[in-house]
Structure 1
Amino acid sequence: MVDRALALLAAFDASRRTLSLRELSRRSGIPVSSTLRLAGRLLAWGALERDDQGRYSIGLRLLEVASLAPRGHGLRQVALPFMSDLAAVTRQHVQLAVREGHEATLVERFSSHSAVAVRYRVGGKLPLHCTGMGLALLAFAPLEVQEEVLAQPLRGEPDQNLIPPAVMRRTLAEVRRERLAIYRRMEEPPIVAVAAPIFGEREEAIAAIGLLLPEREAQPRRIGYAVQTAAQSISRQLGAPSMLDASRHGAHEQG
């Protein structure tokens, strides 16, 4: 029953936010009678909601539960003030993501009304190899994760050109060296993503913070310094040893 209930919830996505009973049955692969029964249980608990036309949507109770996730909640609480500052200065999209397997999940975004259009929604998945935050996370992911990703055919977006593994290895090495990822998306209008890794108590990259801005306004190195500074400040508050040591060293020199 648990697997079937999860299948019902997984039937929804960004393009299908509301579903009729038959659509829910078809997309989940569960018979209509069973779908009706399970949907009733989920409605009672608050995981689903139903409108006047009888169409189902995800319920607010799931948002309440999701807000308790440690990787999202604690990270967001620390990161939000720095994201807000970046958004106020740049008037563009400031985003926060974590890695889940071979993808990244967007957990927060600050956006200006004048910011460029974006592809990914909060809660949505991002590829690791062709987004700024994805590259920042992949470069500092465990070696086995990097090799698994590099073993797959990797295509750029939106051109879909194949990226040779050797090129991706050089890119990841540069990201590790600079602690900064810059990815240009050649679409109309062209967009530049600038991102930096955020480190935790065990010095692992637990998240990435990034900016999206039009190429005509991009100054990647200058913007990159601001993004790196925000990432370092967040890492320090999350207890990253290298950031704490750097802070103590700076305070000692000033003293």
Structure 2
Amino acid sequence: MANSPTGESVIHRLVRIISAFDAAHTAMPVSTLARRTGLPPTTTYRLVDEMLEEGLLERDPRGKVRIGVRMWELVSRSSSMLGLREAAFPFCEDVHAVVQHHTTLGILDQDEVLYIERLSARSSAVNIAKIAGRLPIHACSSGLVLLAYSPKEYQDRIMARPLTKYTDSTITTPALMRQHLAEIRQHGYAAMRGIIVPESSGIAVPVFNAENRAVAALNVIVPAREENTAATVPLLKAAARGISRTLGWRGELTGTVHRTQKIPVQR
């Protein structure tokens, strides 16, 4: 229900406030929050006061506001992602222990990859994927895996819109994209070099649920030109099989673990 001059609902305004916080803006004065949301200062102060009272926001010693513990508590109680993270974490740890580079778990949300888990090491390759961060579906190996296992209608919708070319290796043409998605489905993994960060390569495999639907992508990020695809793909597939079975999957993954035929890396 809208109760503002612009017709914007209270829920919409609350979402704008929550969405203003990110990795670069974890805490801020209310005046800054008003500027970032575009809401009138009086409205922002009023809503912030109510959210502080409910514990959805907290005020730090400097007077800045940030997301409150109560928000995390409420979201964690019934989020379907909590079960997925819990199922995947031991397998992510195993992959990370062997590869010694960034290991991530991503899901598809609003036509982007939303990362719900990331394990890193100081010596890891450059990686812009962060927990609760997002990347474009066409410009990361996790996104291409999730796109490859999506319905054709969804693929057509994604490829019908302009796709941003981040590097020379980013696939943006529908014909080449369709060819690559077919290769991913055939072999069961995506191996992409420098499609969003030139210095890094991503290798990803799908994770399935009890309905045999790809619900996540398990991924490692390694330095470009240091990909050991023949060794990494079986490791990722074994871990993805374990996660999938924990989620109730009882089928056969596309591209079995012992297959290590390498997809040509886009250059």
Mapped to 1, the partners of 2:196 and 2:135 lie a distance apart of: 17
Equivalent residue, structure 2, for 1:46:
55
Alignment pair present for 1:71 and 2:77: no
Could you list the per-position Cα deviations for residues 206-227 of structure 1 after superposition, in whole angstroms to 9, with x for gaps in the alignment? Answer: 1110001112431123211111
For 1:190 and 1:124, locate their aligned partners in 2 and report how far apart those are by CA, in whole Å: 19
Question: Aligned AA for 1:72?
Answer: M
Which residue identity is paired with 1:106? Y
Residue among 166, 170, 173 paired with 1:164:
173
State the Cα deviation string for residues 64-92 of structure 1 (Å, max 9, x = none).
22323443111111111111011111111
Matched, 1:117 2:126: yes
Are 2:156 and 1:147 aligned? yes
Contact 1:140/1:176, CA 8 A, preserved across alignment: yes
Distance 1:162-1:90 versus aligned 2 partners, 3 A rule? closer
In the alignment, is the contact (CA less than 8 A) between 1:235 and 1:243 conserved in 2? no
Aligned counterparts of 1:182 and 1:38: Cα–Cα separation in 2: 46
Task: Please name the residue that 2:229 is paired with.
Answer: 220
Moved over 4 A (4+): 159-162, 186-189
8 Å contact 1:93–1:110 — kept in the other structure?
Answer: yes
Do the aligned residues in 2 keep the contact of 1:197 with 1:208 (CA within 8 Å)? yes
CA contact (8 A) 2:104 2:118 kept: yes
Q: Determine the C-alpha separation between the residues in 2 that align with 1:177 and 1:108.
A: 27
Q: Label 1:222 to 1:75 Cα distance change in 2 as closer, same or farther (>3 A).
A: same
Amino acid at match of 1:124: G
Match of 2:117 among 105, 108, 114: 108
Counterpart of 2:125, as a letter, is V
Are 1:10 and 2:19 matched, yes or no? yes
CA offsets 1:15-59 (integer angstroms, 9 cap, x no match): 322222222112222221221111011112222122233222222
Describe the shift of the 1:104–1:186 C-alpha distance in structure 2 as closer, same or farther (beyond 3 A): closer
> Which range is displaced more, 187-196 or 199-208?
187-196
Q: CA–CA distance in 1 between the matches of 2:19 and 2:93?
A: 32
The one-letter amino acid of 1:240's match is W
Does the C-alpha gap of structure 1 residues 158 and 67 become closer, same or farther in structure 2, counting only changes over 3 Å?
farther
| Structure 2 partner of 1:252 | none
Structure with the higher helix share, 1 or 2: 1
Partner of 1:129: 138
Which one of the candidate residues 87, 94, 104 is aligned to 2:96?
Answer: 87
Deviations 1:90-111 (A, max 9, x none): 1111100111131110000111
Cα distance per residue 1:152-171 (max 9 Å; x no partner): 12234344866211000001
Q: Structure 1 unaligned segments of length 5 or more: list them.
A: 245-255
The number of equivalent residue pairs is 244
- The amino acid of 1:103's aligned partner reads E
State the Cα deviation string for residues 155-192 of structure 1 (Å, max 9, x = none). 34344866211000001001111110111116887211
What CA distance in whole angstroms lies between the structure 1 residues aligned with 2:58 and 2:160? 42
Q: CA deviation at 1:243?
A: 4.0
Which of 186, 199, 205 pairs up with 1:196? 205
Identical-residue share of aligned pairs (%):
35
Q: 154-163 or 137-146, which moves further after superposition?
A: 154-163
Alpha-carbon distance in structure 1 between the residues aligned to 2:195 and 2:84: 31
- Counterpart of 1:182 in structure 2 is 191
Match of 2:258 in 1: none
Question: Take 1:192 and 1:70, find their aligned partners in 2: how far apart are those partners?
Answer: 31
Q: Name the TM-score, length of structure 2 as normaliser.
A: 0.85
Q: Which residue does 2:6 correspond to in 1?
A: none
